[in-house]
């Protein structure tokens, strides 16, 4: 239901919690994805520490893609943080996914950087990621890079701004 508040639960492959975002609001849904938004929400880390997000975020979760995308509206433009992750599940409490360590940070000029390759290799060995999961992650990473270069959905700053305006109007109603 549009406007409903959820948490975001990120897990590691071994089932342990990675991160929890206290609140995010559903602002759009499609048969292939859900869009959430949050601003100044508390994030709890697995190590017991917590912090607050600094800027508004529009989050895209896909039903059949092995990544999710967080677009952050900063003063100097829209940044995209792409988490290589399992497709989401959702229940009454939270949207949930498994984080597979690799990340892609996209800058406002559309340059991007792949992050955490060492962490991915370490966790893949330590948690024994199955071969098919590793193949899917590599395949999805290549597709994600192509989508970034082509500015495919949701790498559209105007769309992200429109979602932020929608979030502000929904949040006033909540």
Q: Considering only CA atoms, which of 21, 15, 16, 18 is closest in space to residue 5?
A: 21
Dihedral class, residue 40 (left if φ above 0, else alpha if ψ from -120 to 50, else beta):
left
Q: How far apart are CA 18 and CA 10, in angstroms?
A: 5
19 is catalytic: yes
| 76 φ, ψ (degrees, to nearest 5) | -100, 10
Catalytic position from the list 19, 23, 110, 168: 19
* Residues marked as catalytic: 19
């Amino acid at each position: 239901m549009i406007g409903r508040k959820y948490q975001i639960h990120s897990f590691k492959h071994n089932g342990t919690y990675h991160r929890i975002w206290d609140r995010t609001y559903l602002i759009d849904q499609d048969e292939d994805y859900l869009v959430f938004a949050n601003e100044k929400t508390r994030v709890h880390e697995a190590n017991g520490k917590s912090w607050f997000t600094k800027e508004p975020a529009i989050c895209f979760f896909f039903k059949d893609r092995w990544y999710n995308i967080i677009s952050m509206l900063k003063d100097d433009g829209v940044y995209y943080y792409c988490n290589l992750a399992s497709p989401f599940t959702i229940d009454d409490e939270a949207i949930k996914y498994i984080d597979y360590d690799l990340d892609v940070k996209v800058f406002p000029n559309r340059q991007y950087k792949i992050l955490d390759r060492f962490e991915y290799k370490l966790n893949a060995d330590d948690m024994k990621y199955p071969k098919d999961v590793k193949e899917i992650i590599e395949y999805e990473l290549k597709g994600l890079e192509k989508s970034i270069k082509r500015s495919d959905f949701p790498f559209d700053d105007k769309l992200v701004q429109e979602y932020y305006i929608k979030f502000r109007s929904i949040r006033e109603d909540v």
